[in-house]
Amino acid sequence: MTPVNSPRRRQRLSPTEIEARIRAILILTLAGVLGITVLGMLYSLIFVYQPEEAAPLDLAFMDVLSPLSFSIGGALTGLAAGGAAKKIANRDSDDE
């Protein structure tokens, strides 16, 4: 006799499903980091009092965050484009 609330066995994920999940986790994580960075920069520009001349530490902070944001944006673009290109390549090979 099997118990009524017995857990069902999960099917194993295929390698493409695992890759898709990892890609989705990476994209969501990088998008979250980029979003928090952009919101932080906007908050500091809009709501924090800014003197006429920026402090050297503030300039250094912005000098670090700007390239970092561009790098994360480029990584996001690469991840998204790589997945789409792979999907198109697989679809084209299936059509032939």
DSSP state of 13: P
Domain boundaries, the chain: 21-95
More confident residue, 44 or 7: 44
Q: What is the pLDDT of residues 13-46, one digit of tens each?
A: 888 888 889 988 999 999 999 899 889 888 887 8
When mean pLDDT is compared across 11-25, 51-65, 81-95, the lowest value belongs to: 81-95
CB atoms within 10 A of CB 26: 13
Distance CA 83, CA 56 (A): 41
